[in-house]
Every structure is written in structure tokens, then in C-alpha cells.
């Protein structure tokens, strides 16, 4: 075989090469602002001034305006009469409904996973990440791993509309958790330790225990008065 023939045979095909992604600037800005909102760096009620944000991020006002429109579509930003755009304030009802809906979604996911006998071994990955983050005192890392755990749980239910709805809901869940964590102090090891028993129950096919554990986990704030979040923000 000639060198030319060998080169042809070993050369990567078009299918082997991943495309280079060029994310539009408005999407990059929206991602950065979204993260600031759901981690409570931008608190509910904060007015979003295009010129100030553009200057901070060293961009023009146009992509900032487009990014804010994306966040308004997400439900994280609202238009305030005569004052422009602001991070949408939380109400007591929104906090209560967010947690109750989360429980409904995740219990449904648990039941579907067990009915489908889905392999849940992948859930140990975020469990280990949470354990490691807790050991390091890395709250942000633990929150990211926790989000990964619950997203994987919903994805394993193989219900596309449920996953789509949960993704939108989790923006609010993250925001509420971040606001609460800035005010209160939690035991990171305890938070991380809540998740392995859920995986164990799923692997054993124990529906009753799995549903009870995920319900208790999503109701972790049942003794936390959501009104106190709103009052603290005020």
C-alpha cells in the first residue's frame, strides 16, 4: 500500500470532526446574567440598566438588550412601568408553588424510572461530586453537582415534556436555594448525604422508600417559612 493510500484510509472523515461552536454574544451575556440571578448575585428587584451592564461586560448595549429579552422569556426578568427591566421579585406564592411542583415532578420521575427499570448507576457520579465538594467546603460546587443529580434523575424518566418543564422550574429552584443559603447556614455534608439513599432505593427497586426519600428531600424547606425570604429581600 502506498503512503498516499494509507493517508486516505487514516484521514478523519467529516463525521469524525466536531463543528466549532460560535455562541452569539447575546446568548453569552444572557448565560452570565442568568447565572448571576439564580445564584443571588443579582437579587430580586434589582433594576437592570443596559448602559451599566454593557460597560461592566465591555460590550455594546444592543446584545445586552437582546440578552435581557431572553431572560424575560425565561421568567427571570420583568418590565417595570416607567423604570425599565428588573430581576423579577419572588412572592410567597411563587416560593410555595415552586417547591410543591418540584416534588410532583420528581416523584413522577422516580415512579417512571422504576417502571422502566432504568439503569441509575450514572447518578453515583453527582453523588460523589457532592461528597467531594462538601469535604472541601465548596458550596458552589455542591450546588452544581446537586443540580446535575436532579437533572439526571428527571432525564432517566425518559419523559421529554417533564424534562423541559423541570429545566424551566429549576431556574427558580436554584434562585430560591441561593437566596436561602446566603441568609442561613447549612451542613454541606448533610446535604450531600441525602442523595445516596435515593440511588440505593432505586437500585433495589424499592418504590415506597424511593418515593418517600425524594418527597422528604424536596420538602427539605417544609419548616422554612417562604415569607421570610420575601421579608429579608425587602
Q: pLDDT tens for residues 9-57?
A: 455 555 566 666 688 999 999 999 998 988 778 888 899 999 999 999 9
For residue 19, give the DSSP letter: P
Cell numbers linked to 89: 421579585
CB–CB of 45/36 below 8 Å? no
pLDDT for 165: 92
Domain with CATH 1.10.10.10 in the chain: 23-87
Best-predicted range by mean pLDDT (10-19, 61-70, 96-105, 175-184): 61-70
Task: For residue 78, give the H/E element and its range.
Answer: strand 77-80
Cell numbers linked to 120: 441509575
CB–CB of 195/149 below 8 Å? yes
pLDDT for 8: 47
Q: In CATH, which superfamily holds the domain spanning 92-222? A: GntR ligand-binding domain-like (1.20.120.530)
pLDDT for 85: 93
CB–CB of 166/154 below 8 Å? yes
Q: Please state which CATH number belongs to domain 23-87.
A: 1.10.10.10
**DSSP 3-state assignment of 80?**
strand
In angstroms, the Cα distances linking 111 to 21, 60, 124, 197, 200 are 37, 48, 19, 16, 15
Distance (Å, rounded) from C-alpha 234 to C-alpha 89? Answer: 10
pLDDT for 160: 95
Mean pLDDT of the chain: 85
pLDDT for 229: 59
**Helix boundaries (H) for 18-91:** 25-38, 50-57, 61-74
3-state helix, strand, coil in the chain (%, to 5): 70, 5, 25
Distance (Å, rounded) from C-alpha 159 to C-alpha 112? Answer: 9
Cell numbers linked to 55: 460597560
Q: Residue 202: is its pLDDT beyond 70?
A: yes
Domain with CATH 1.20.120.530 in the chain: 92-222
Amino acid at each position: 500500500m502506498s503512503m498516499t493510500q494509507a493517508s486516505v484510509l487514516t484521514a478523519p472523515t467529516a463525521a469524525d470532526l466536531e463543528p466549532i461552536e460560535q455562541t452569539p454574544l447575546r446568548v453569552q451575556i444572557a448565560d452570565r446574567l442568568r447565572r448571576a440571578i439564580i445564584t443571588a448575585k443579582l437579587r430580586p428587584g434589582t433594576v437592570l440598566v443596559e448602559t451599566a451592564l454593557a460597560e461592566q461586560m465591555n460590550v455594546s448595549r444592543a446584545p445586552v438588550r437582546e440578552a435581557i429579552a431572553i431572560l424575560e422569556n425565561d421568567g427571570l426578568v420583568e418590565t417595570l412601568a416607567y423604570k425599565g427591566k428588573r430581576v423579577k421579585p419572588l412572592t410567597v406564592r411563587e416560593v410555595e408553588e415552586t417547591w410543591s411542583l418540584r416534588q410532583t415532578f420528581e416523584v413522577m420521575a422516580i415512579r417512571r424510572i422504576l417502571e422502566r427499570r432504568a439503569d441509575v448507576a450514572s447518578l453515583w457520579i453527582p453523588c460523589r461530586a457532592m461528597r467531594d465538594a462538601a469535604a472541601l467546603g465548596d458550596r458552589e460546587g455542591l450546588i452544581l453537582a446537586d443540580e446535575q443529580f436532579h437533572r439526571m434523575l428527571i432525564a432517566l424518566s425518559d419523559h421529554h415534556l417533564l424534562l423541559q418543564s423541570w429545566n424551566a422550574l429549576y431556574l427558580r429552584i436554584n434562585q430560591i436555594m441561593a437566596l436561602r443559603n446566603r441568609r442561613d447556614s447549612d451542613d454541606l455534608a448533610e446535604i450531600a448525604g441525602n442523595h445516596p439513599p435515593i440511588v440505593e432505593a432505586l437500585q433495589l427497586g424499592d418504590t415506597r422508600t424511593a418515593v418517600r426519600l425524594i418527597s422528604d428531600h424536596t420538602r427539605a424547606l417544609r419548616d422554612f417559612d417562604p415569607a421570610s425570604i420575601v421579608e429579608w429581600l425587602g
